[in-house]
Amino acid sequence: MPARVVGEIQSFADLSILPGESAPERVLENCNGFDALICTLMNKVTADFIDRLPPSIRLVATYSVGIDHIDLRALQARRIALVNTPDVFTEATADIAWLLLLGAARRASEAEALLRSGMWTGWEPNQLVGTDIHGSTLGILGFGRIGRAVARRAAGFGMNILTSVRSSSAGDPPPPGTIICSSMEEVLAGSDFLSLHLPLTEETQNWLNAERIASMKSGAIVINTARGGLIDETALIAALQSGKLGGAGLDVFVGEPDIRRDLVEAPNTFLLPHLGSATRRAREGMGLSLARDIAAFFAGRPVENGVGVSK
C-alpha cells in the first residue's frame, strides 16, 4: 500500500503486511490474534477461507470497490463486517475507460508497435485507419458514478449517449441529450461504442455473449473497465477475428493475471493490466478510506462504506 496509507494505519493499529501473492494458508497463519484483515481483489476470500479465519477477526476491509472476490454469505454467517472503497477512484477509472476507447478506436497499440519496430516508412492515406469518435454513439451499461463520469467525457467529444437505467443511481445527472433506453439490449443495438460498468453477479456473468454480440452494429467497439467476467471472451475473440466487432479496449480479464494468449493476439485490441485506479490520488484515497473505516469500526462509530452486516 502507499506509504501514507501504511503510516495512517500504523498510527492507531499494529500492522502486519504480507506480499500480495501470499498463499491463503500463509495469510491464515498470520491472522491469529489480529482483529481485521485487509485484502485486495486478487485475494479470493472464499467460504472455506472465511470458515478458517480465527475468531479474533471481526472486520474484512477490501482495497477495492468490487466485492465479487468475497463470499458475502460466509462473512454474514460469521458476523464479520466488510468495508470497501467506493467513490474514491471514479474519475481515475473513467479516464482509463476513455483511454481504452481512444486507443481501440485509433488503433494505438498497432501504431506504437509499428513506430517502435523501426518499420514505419512514412505517412500513407490508408495506413492504420481507425474509427471516428466525434458524432458516434456511446452505449453505457451501468450508469452509476463511473458510468456517468464516462458520459460526461463522451459529451465533451460530441458523442450521442445511450444507457439503460434499471433503478435510481447515485451521482450527477446524465448529460443533456442522454437517451434512456428501455433495455440493455436496445443500448447494444444502437451503439457504435459500448462501455461496460456493471457489477459482476450471477446474472451478469458472461453477459456479453455471442448472441448479444451478434445483435450489435458491425464494427462496434467494446470497452470494459469493470470485471472481465462480464464478457464471454471466447465469443469476443471470435467476433474480433471475424470483423463483427471493430475492436476492444480492455482493462480487466477473466482469470487475471493469466490472460488468454488468443485474446492478447486478437486483432484491433487495446489492452491494459488493470490500471483503472492506478493514480497516486486514487490509490492513496482508497487506502485512507479503509483506514478511516477500520478506525471507526473499532471505536464503535459508524463506518462510511460498510457492506452487509454491521458491527
- Catalytic residue numbers read 227, 256, 274
At residue 97, what are phi and psi to the nearest 5 degrees? -60, -40
157 vs 193: CA distance, rounded Å: 13
Distance between CA atoms of residues 149 and 143, nearest Å: 9
The helices-and-strands tally (H runs, E runs) of the chain is 12, 11
What are the C-alpha distances in Å from 177 to residues 60, 137, 151? 42, 12, 11
Buried residues in 116-151 as b, exposed as e (16+ CB within 10 A): eeeeeeeeeeeeeebbebeebbbbbbbbbbbbbbbb
- 250, 269 in Cβ contact below 8 A? yes
Alpha-carbon gap, residue 231 to 228, rounded angstroms? 6
Residues in a beta bridge with 137:
160
